[in-house]
Chains A and B, each alone.
Chain A
Amino acid sequence: MKRLEYKHPRPVRWMHWFNVPLLFGMIWSGLLIYWANDVYRIGFGEWTLFRFFPNWFYQVFGLAHRLAEGMAWHFTIMWLFAINGLCYVLYTFISGEWRHLLPNRNSFREAWMVVLHDLHLSKAEPPRRKFNGAQQFAYTSVIIMGAGSLLTGLAIYKPTQLAWLTNLLGGYEWARWAHFWLTLGYVAFFLVHISQVIRAGWNNFRAMVTGFEVAPVEEVSGG
């Protein structure tokens, strides 16, 4: 027997989907800005494994020579991105939704189980709950990353008026560095998130659109 289970409240769904173009816009305009001083890399001393970014990357996505444009978009979309994020945090606290989202003392062990299961290293099924431990970690981390982007962004946007903040983050250059790596963090989150959503299937995805999931009802006695 099946029943409909209300999974994602309407405000969460709206804010989630709003965030998609907003985050994309922030990353895109951020790349237009980053191009003008693209100094970060993975490497050690003289040795470089990967440079952010190779020239083909700017060429393919048309990111070169657009610094002024990037700044204008970045400093416009930032308001919507920040407001949407703050509303989400406020909503999860007021509604009590945070109880499903914040990791608890079991989450770490559970998250590890989920990782092993998803890598086909363990047969133990993750618990059937709204959010398992791995999801709790992921969805809480990404909010903390959002706060980090806001703070590191402010630290490089107003490094004199907010000098205390810039200093706290290790100075202007480190704040910019952290702002960049947080962005790569979103990209990593996005890739894992998409692949997990595909694995979880249509019923799970549909719940983020309609709010409802079709769930089996456990029968009390054998039928």
Chain B
Amino acid sequence: MDKPTVPEAIAASDAKVEADIRRMTRRSFATGAIAAMAGGSALTWLATRATEDGTLWPLRRMLEFNERVAQTLYDSNRLAPEFPVDQAVEPRVNGHVGLESPVAAANWNVRVIGQLDRQIPLTAIKELPAHEMTTELKCVEGWSRVVRWKGIRLADFLDKFGAPTDYIGLSTPPNGKDVNGAVDRYYVGLDRPSAMHPQTLLCYEMNGQPLSEAHGAPLRLISAVKYGYKCIKRISVIELTDRRPADYWAQRGYDWYAGH
């Protein structure tokens, strides 16, 4: 059988199809290469920026942008789920900074620095209405534990001893300098809406027992709207301020807001 002959018109059209696709392929791949180079340059630029508190500054801006979005949508009426008491367990001890020396819990005072500077005795703090909650303590590392907490609401504390400032800074006792010359103390900053959340407590009991030294005796913060690294132990100083307070982990690359 003879090989079928391809009509000229079809052969010409096939050649045109091949030419067309070759032209489009060149153009599309060139566009793709330019787009890839633009993306690569943007990424290189981003990755070579200066760091701000341990994070590339453009990413730091993004964390702040996320914070503004979260603050806009924030509603302190939205509560974290509570769990049956029998699910409560002992959480891992994760933070030691600022707790290196033994605590002198007797006659504990919390220094409140605002327009006034005064010492509030722990006994006066414990006179505020007690609240208990069984909530999930969430570590930024990714684990979580259900724990029973007892304490007073930070909102009540601020209503009684504070002032309506934008931020609240909390710190362990200042212990001077450690061997490396760094301040040997732990400190966190809270935005006011999170501080006023009903599940943000100044705690003195954990799982029905007075707080142990490792877990932050005599007074620690627990907030259901923050990661564990905001839940400072051994609170000695509370500062009322309109300027964003320094935060130990936020200075080491983490998000300042850390809000849930």
Contacts and interface: CB of A to CB of B under 8 A. Distances in A.
25 contacts: A1-B14, A4-B20, A33-B142, A67-B140, A68-B252, A71-B140, A72-B55, A72-B56, A72-B60, A73-B59, A75-B62, A75-B255, A76-B59, A79-B62, A161-B74, A161-B75, A161-B259, A161-B260, A163-B79, A173-B144, A209-B25, A210-B27, A211-B28, A214-B18, A223-B6
A172 interface: yes
B32 A214 contact: no
Nearest to A36: B141
A160 B79 contact: yes
B174 interface: no
A130 interface: no
Nearest to B40: A21
A69 interface: yes
B121 interface: no
B21 interface: yes
Given A3-B17, A161-B75, A206-B21, 6 more contacts: A37-B139, A37-B142, A68-B55, A72-B255, A210-B24, A223-B7
Contact of B25 (A3, A17, A161, A210): A210
Contacts of A21: 39
A49 B74 CA distance: 43
A167 interface: yes
A9 interface: no
B70 A161 contact: yes
Nearest to B254: A68
Interface in B1-47: 4-7, 10, 13-14, 17-18, 20-21, 24-25, 27-29, 32, 35, 39
Contact of A167 (B5, B70, B81, B254): B81
Contacts of B70: 158, 161
Chain B interface, >50% SS class:
mixed
Contacts of B80: 159-160, 163
A167 B35 CA distance: 42
Interface string A168-179: 000111001000
Contact of B24 (A17, A157, A212): A212
Contacts of A149: none
Nearest to A158: B260
B21 A214 contact: yes
A176 B142 contact: yes
A73 to B, nearest CB: 7
Contacts of B35: 17
B228 to A, nearest CB: 12
Contacts of B7: 223
B73 interface: yes
Interface in B55-91: 55-56, 58-60, 62-63, 66, 70, 73-75, 78-81
Interface in A1-33: 1-4, 17, 21, 33
A4 B18 CA distance: 9
Contacts, number: 116
B112 interface: no
Contacts of B220: none
Q: Give the size range of A's interface with the partner.
A: 35 or more
Contact of B260 (A4, A160, A210): A160
B19 to A, nearest CB: 11
Nearest to A157: B260
Interface string B123-163: 00000000000001011111110000000000000000000
A81 interface: no
Contacts of B164: none
Contacts of B139: 37
A206 B24 CA distance: 10
Interface string A44-77: 0000000000000000000000011101110110
Contacts of B208: none
Contact of A34 (B63, B142, B255): B142
A39 interface: yes
B17 A2 contact: yes
A166 interface: yes
Contacts of A158: 70, 259-260
B225 interface: yes
Given A67-B141, A161-B75, A166 B14 contact: no
Nearest to B60: A72
The 8 closest A-B pairs by CB, nearest first: A68-B253, A37-B142, A36-B141, A72-B59, A160-B260, A76-B62, A160-B80, A210-B28
